[in-house]
Amino acid sequence: MFLASKGFGHYLHTHYGDHTFRGLYRWNGFDLAILIPYFIVMVILAFYGIHRYQLVWLYYHNKKKKALWDQPVGRFAPGELPFVTVQLPIFNEQFVIDRLIDAVCRIDYPRDRFEIQLLDDSTDETVQVAAEIVERYAKGTAGLAPQPIVHLHRTNRHGYKAGALDEGLKVARGELVAIFDADFVPAPDWLMKVVDHFAEPGIGMVQTRWTHLNRNYSFMTQVEAILLDGHFVLEHGGRSRAGVFFNFNGTAGVWRRVAISDGGGWQHDTLTEDTDLSYRVQMTGWRFKYLQDVECPAELPIEMTAFKTQQARWAKGLIQTGKKILPRVMKSNAPWHTKLEAWYHLTANISYPLMIVLSVLLMPAMIIRSWQGYIQMLLIDFPLFIASTMSVSTFYLVSQKELFPKTWYKTFLYVPFLMALGVGLTITNTKAVMEALFGYKTAFARTPKYRVKKKGEASQAKVYRKRLGIVPWIELLIGTYFAWTVWYAMTTENYFTVPFLLLFVLGYWYTGLLSLFQGLFERAGKEASGSPDMHEKPYPMGI
C-alpha cells in the first residue's frame, strides 16, 4: 500500500527528460479514472478493516459478560433434564462416520432423555456403512449398552442439509436439538456442559468453540486453524459479549426446538442455512449464548481444493443471507449498533470482488502516483494500510494470544501466510459472491473429510477429490503478473510497495499450485512427518 516514492519520477526524469517528466504530473482524465476507484476501494476495505479492530474492542470491553460453561444462570435438577435429540447430518462421509457415531454414543446423558438421528443423504457406499454401524450400536457394542440411535436415509437431497435437519425434526422427540457434522468428535461431557444454560429463560441456542483434530497435519492446516480461531474467539466472542446478533455455525451447538419453530424453521434458499435461521430466530426475541471454554474438535480440510470449496460456500451463503435478512434487520426494532454489526457480518465477503478491482488498479495507480513524496504517503497511504491490512494480522494475533498465552508469539511466523491465503482465495470467493449477488443457484458442495492423522495417510482422498477447472491457472497467471509488478517496483526504486506486492504473488501462486498438485505433494510427503503442533495436543482419534 506504500505507493509513494520519488524513485519512478527520478527514473523518468533521467531517461526521458523534463518535458515527459512534467507531463506525468498533470492530473488528467485517465489519472482520475484510475485513482478515484482505487481510493474508493481502499476506503471501503479500510472500513471493514476498522471493523476488525472494533471486534477486538468489543471482546475486551465486555470481558465481564463472557459466558462460562460452569456458571449458568440456572440448573436443571437431575430428574428434570430436558429430552435431547442429537442430529447427525451426513452426505458421503464413509471415512469418518464410525468415529462420529462412536463419539456421540459415548456422550454422558441419561438414555431415557436422549436420542440420536443419523440423517443420511448419501449416494455412495456410506449408506451401507452407516446402516451397519447404526445397527451395531443400537444392539450394543464396544463396551456400550444398546443406544437409542436410528438411521434415516433420504433418497433425494431436497433442501440439502437444511432439508435433512427439517425432516429429522418431524420425528424428533427432543425439547433440545444438538447438531454435529460428520467430522466432529464431541467429548463425553460436552452435552452436560451445555444443557444447564437452557435453564435460563429466553436462551434459544448455545454454540461451542471448534478446535482442530489435525491442526498439525501440514502448514496449511496450521494456517486454517488460526483463521478459524480468529472467528471463534473475536467474532463470536466480541458479538456475543456485546449482546448483538451472532450465528450458529451449523454444528457443535444446541438449539431449543421451539426457537427453531418461532424463527420459521430450517430453510434452504441459502447455502448458510445456519446463519439464516440464526438471524430469524434472534429477531423474534430469542437470545444466543457462546461458550468459548467448551471445545468440540473437528477435522480441517487437508487439500486446497477442499478448503476453497468450503470457503466459497460460506462466502456465497453469507451474501445470500445478507440479501434475504438484512432488509428485515434494518426494519426491525433492534438497536442501531446491532444493525450495524449485522451489516458488517453479512456483507464482509464483498471485500473479495473489491480485491479483484484493487488488483487491476494497483499497478497503474502505482505508476501514476510514483512521483509523489513521503508526506502524502504518511497522510493517506499509511492510514489506509493500517486500517485495511494491519488489522488482519492484529485480529489473528490477538485471538492466538487469548487461546495460547504462552506460545502465541509463534503466530508471527504465520501472519504473512494468513494474509497471502486471504489474497489467494480472491478468485474463487469472488465468483461465489457474484453468483450470490446475481441470484445464481448452485448445489450445496460438501467439504470432503478423510480422517487423516499425519502425512501419507490420505490415499483415500482421491475418492472425493475435486479439481477447480481453470481457476488455478488464472491464479497462477495473476501471481505471475504481480511478480512482474514486484520487479517493476524494484527497478523504479519503489521499495515500499514490494512487501505488499509479494503477498499477492505468494497468495496466488500458493493457492494455484496446491490446487493443481495437491495429490502430488501428498504422495511426496508420505514419509514426512506432520508439522509440529504449535499449540495443541491432538485429540484422540480412535474414540
- List residues with catalytic annotation: 121, 274
Q: How many CA atoms lie within 13 A of 531 on its CB side?
A: 16
Locate cell 441456542: which residue?
205
List C-alpha distances in Å: 362 to 4, 37, 38, 49, 231.
12, 11, 8, 18, 29
CA torsion, points 167, 157, 162, 316, in degrees to nearest 10?
Answer: -170
Q: In whole angstroms, what is the distance from residue 521 CA to residue 399 CA?
A: 30
Beta strands 176-179; 253-256: pairing state: antiparallel
Q: In whole angstroms, what is the distance from residue 150 CA to residue 72 CA?
A: 32
Element (H, E) at 287: strand 287-298
**Cα-Cα-Cα-Cα dihedral sign, residues 521, 524, 526, 530:** negative
List C-alpha distances in Å: 357 to 229, 409, 414, 500.
29, 34, 26, 16
Stated length of the chain: 543
Nearest residue to 321 via CA among 351, 278, 352? 278
CA torsion, points 22, 25, 29, 33, in degrees to nearest 10?
Answer: 140
Q: Where are the alpha helices (DSSP H) in 388-425?
A: 391-403, 415-424
Collapsing DSSP to helix, strand or coil, 19 comes out as helix
List C-alpha distances in Å: 343 to 307, 321, 339.
25, 11, 6
What count of other Cβ atoms lies within 10 Å of the Cβ of residue 339? 16
Q: In whole angstroms, what is the distance from residue 112 CA to residue 289 CA?
A: 26
Nearest residue to 334 via CA among 247, 244, 274, 259? 244
